[in-house]
Structure 1
Amino acid sequence: MVDHWPALVRVLIVFFAILAAIRKKVSLGNAFFFGSVALGFLFSIGPADVAVSVFRSFTHAKTLSLAAIVSLILVLSHSLEAVGQMERLLSSFQGLVRTPQFNLVIFPSLIGLLPMPGGAIFSAPMVKTLGRAFRFTGDQLSYINYWFRHVWEYWWPLYPGVLLTTTLAGLDLWVFVLALFPMTVVAVAAGYLPLSFPAEAAAQDSNPSSGAASGKQTPLRPFLRELTPIAMAILGGLGLGFVLSLTLPSKISIAKELGLIVALAASILWVWHGGGLSAGERLRILKRRQLWDMFYMVGSILVFKGILEDAHAVEAISRELLAMKIPLMPITVILPFLVGMVAGITIAFVGTTFPILISLVHSFGEAQGILGYMMLALVSGFIGVLLSPLHLCLLLSNEYFGTSLTKVLRLVARPCAVLLVCSMAYFFFLRGLL
């Protein structure tokens, strides 16, 4: 009987079942895995064929390399936290810049370079201290801490959402990074819109112990030293990936991913050695359940993509949407936005909607503009995540500053609107350029 249902209806059933599972605190890995099995059932794929598709997707080189990268990023993040390096990084930055308005937002931004769940809580005390000079309210301080913590997620290659997007769409990671970088510029500029800095307060530095306040020049070297592991991961991954792509045989499709894996591993060893972590402490980091949950989640998302392809579900949906004459651009904006708002997690809207959107882009004959569509979908989905009442960083930041969800979301809405408008304009620019 289900064979006669529209493909769009069958996929939406699975789609909302996954979202419901996420809302019920089912792990993302399990939600996607069992959603994939349900999808196979609804499209009449036999159990044996489902098993084959699951095995093929889990063991694919792209799956293993992406899961390894995401897991290593978590190891690096936990290692930096264990040796206190992020705190030293922030401390060494104080006094380098004499503009309080800039100092106020740089601390959450620096913390945002590493994708730590609930990372906004790390920068909250510093934002509170620096914000005293401007007499900001609790909701304004929570907004600053929350918004500027997330200005990198559109392109920073350590974020799983960016890595998964490029893997699903078959895009070059570094081309994607360069193309999406302008959205961070927009996010930073738009982030200042809800804020008003009194002139008399701006002339004072709220941290009297900093170099800016005392008139002494703070040395740059300690800051650069603490930044070394992150620079090793990014610059080393970029350089080594480029070299491997030129030297390894063309049939090895993960040359650039291998470069990032090696760079991340080297960065982790650097932190372990420099931080003096014992063998037991290193083992505890590697045995953290979150690490293996992330590995499983990435594999399950790519299993979901594989079942979608094997069921020819997206081709059927494409035919149905073409018959209904629904334009592709509104679908690209609305679908990720809704899922991002419901789930509150970037990886959730990327994993559920991007396999569908990518196939739709090809079905609509827009393959040459895939970069623009992925940019628009990622920004739209992340705007939904920023406005989501389930976003952990938002909840933690509000709790620290003793403010309400409504007040902070009212401040977040304005820069989000600017982001959406600019992403649409940038979409048409990229479309004309490509």
Structure 2
Amino acid sequence: MKMAHLIFLIVALFLIGGFVFMKFNIALSIFILAILTGIFKRIPLGEFFLLFYKTLTHFDTINMILVIIIVTYLAELLKVSGFLDDVTNLFKSIFPPRVYLPAFSMIIGLLPMPGGALVSAPMVEEGATYTDLKEEEKALLNFWFRHVWEPISPLYPEFLLGVSILGTTIGKVISIQWPVTFGMFLSGVIFILPKINSKEYEMKEKLSFLVLWKSIKTLSPILFIFAILLTFKHLPSFVAMLSGVIYIIIFKKVTISNLLASSKWKKILEYAFLIYAIFLLREIISSTQFASHLYTELKALSIPYFLILFLLPFSIGFLAGISSASIGIAYPLLMPLLKENGVINGANLLIAYMGVWTALLFTPTHLCLSLSVDYFKAKFPDFYRLLLLPYILLLLVNLMWVLVLR
């Protein structure tokens, strides 16, 4: 069938959507989609088992599972050690909730910390006790503001991957993609922050050197992890997270009972299966050249090139849930449209990146989204209803900038 990959993609979108709204286990949903993708691509049974094994033993999978195990433990340790109470009380004494709640997520989002949604989530949860926020609103706030920086931050490997593939400069890509960050922040301020209706709180402190020093001391466990990640850039992420756990145990004088209370193995196993399912789907898409076949079919339809620019990265991003996969697969295929006579076409690059980005903000295969929803025990349908308006405004802001670049 000439349009088989496009038809399968449409079916996959509806299938995942159906699973979400039926409140089906999201990890199992993604695993089923991975199996169906393999069947669609007619992968022999022996090769299928080889892909299962390859995914399980791949460094990326092992690293991410270790990160999630340690981050889940770290998040619980932050609770039982009193760290979250200290941070919340400090920020509550200086800022109103409409400032400190998004600040928690934006601070953690400064660095490419795998599973970072689980680090900011307990901080948001503790800080939100002084508000009337619903679970879905907490999940959206945590997820949305955590991802404000990625489109323009050279600290993110995905950003540098795009720069490398395009053969251009960091400054050039920032000058094109800044409206994504601006649109994220603007949408969050307009549609998410107004939902924070504060209960009684009292700002007791004014900004001063003493307060700044107190803030640094209070945030020291998080700042320590940041320092490790920035200083040792090639260090596996789980090692940096583990160093944060050790730091808290030593300097917070955590007791044995608190250490044991921080173990949440059921939740850890659920997260591990979710990660495995996502990486299995990515491996199947990559090994079967699904994206290149989809690109060929889209071109054969003679549809406008700007739709191809958007739909190809969106499709890969939606299925894989990882921006590096979407950029790494889609950009080389789209290079004739992204770079003309050695010059970056800003409008076309922004369209392609918005395909990547809007997929990641929408797909349940994006680990941060699923982790945020799961942590706050939010309902996916209600979460998506809240996501709709900021999502649309983000699209409109960037559509306007595309027209300016043209």
What TM-score results when the alignment is normalised by the length of structure 2? 0.68
Higher mean C-alpha displacement, 29-38 vs 220-229: 29-38
C-alpha distance 355-413 of structure 1, shift in aligned 2 (>3 A): closer
Counterpart of 1:316 in structure 2 is 293
Q: SS at 2:43's partner residue?
A: coil
**1:299-340 residue CA offsets vs partner (Å, 9 max, x unmatched):** 22222122123323222211101111335654665688899x
How far the C-alpha of 1:52 sits from its partner, in A, is 1.0
How far the C-alpha of 1:51 sits from its partner, in A, is 0.9
How far the C-alpha of 1:224 sits from its partner, in A, is 1.3
Pairing 1:187–2:184 present: yes
How far the C-alpha of 1:276 sits from its partner, in A, is 3.5
2: CA distance, partners of 1:80 / 1:260 = 18
Pairing 1:125–2:126 present: no
1:85 to 83, 86, 95: 83
How far the C-alpha of 1:23 sits from its partner, in A, is 3.8
Gap runs ≥5 in structure 1 = 129-137, 198-205, 242-255, 340-346, 399-404
The aligned amino acid for 1:362 is P
Counterpart of 1:238 in structure 2 is 230
C-alpha distance 190-231 of structure 1, shift in aligned 2 (>3 A): same
Counterpart of 1:266 in structure 2 is 243
How far the C-alpha of 1:33 sits from its partner, in A, is 2.6
Counterpart of 2:280 in structure 1 is 303
Q: Matches of residues 24-103 of structure 1 in structure 2 within 5 Å?
A: 24-96=22-94
The aligned amino acid for 1:224 is I
C-alpha distance 337-194 of structure 1, shift in aligned 2 (>3 A): same
2: CA distance, partners of 1:384 / 1:190 = 15
**Equivalent residue pairs, number:** 367
Counterpart of 2:205 in structure 1 is 211
Q: Matches of residues 214-229 of structure 1 in structure 2 within 5 Å?
A: 219-229=211-221
Contact 2:92 2:202 in 1 (8 A): no
Contact 1:154 1:378 in 2 (8 A): no
Higher mean C-alpha displacement, 359-368 vs 265-274: 359-368
How far the C-alpha of 1:50 sits from its partner, in A, is 0.9
1: CA distance, partners of 2:54 / 2:160 = 16
C-alpha distance 109-322 of structure 1, shift in aligned 2 (>3 A): same
1:106 to 100, 117, 121: 100
How far the C-alpha of 1:358 sits from its partner, in A, is 4.8
Q: SS at 1:277's partner residue?
A: coil
The aligned amino acid for 1:115 is A
Pairing 1:351–2:351 present: no
Contact 1:33 1:300 in 2 (8 A): yes
Contact 1:333 1:376 in 2 (8 A): yes
1: CA distance, partners of 2:160 / 2:256 = 34
The aligned amino acid for 1:364 is L
1: CA distance, partners of 2:391 / 2:263 = 37
The aligned amino acid for 1:273 is I
**1:62-89 residue CA offsets vs partner (Å, 9 max, x unmatched):** 2222333343333322221222312211
Pairing 1:361–2:331 present: yes
**1:243-285 residue CA offsets vs partner (Å, 9 max, x unmatched):** xxxxxxxxxxxxx2x3433221111111223334334543453
Counterpart of 2:395 in structure 1 is 420
Counterpart of 1:152 in structure 2 is 146
The aligned amino acid for 1:187 is M
2: CA distance, partners of 1:55 / 1:397 = 33
2: CA distance, partners of 1:43 / 1:392 = 31
C-alpha distance 295-326 of structure 1, shift in aligned 2 (>3 A): farther
Contact 1:33 1:303 in 2 (8 A): yes
Q: SS at 1:45's partner residue?
A: coil
Gap runs ≥5 in structure 2 = 109-115, 195-199
After superposition, the CA RMSD in angstroms is 5.0
Contact 2:148 2:185 in 1 (8 A): no
Higher mean C-alpha displacement, 301-310 vs 419-428: 419-428
Percent identical:
14
C-alpha distance 171-371 of structure 1, shift in aligned 2 (>3 A): farther
Higher mean C-alpha displacement, 263-272 vs 286-295: 286-295
Counterpart of 2:270 in structure 1 is 293
How far the C-alpha of 1:359 sits from its partner, in A, is 3.0
1:6 to 4, 8, 32: 4
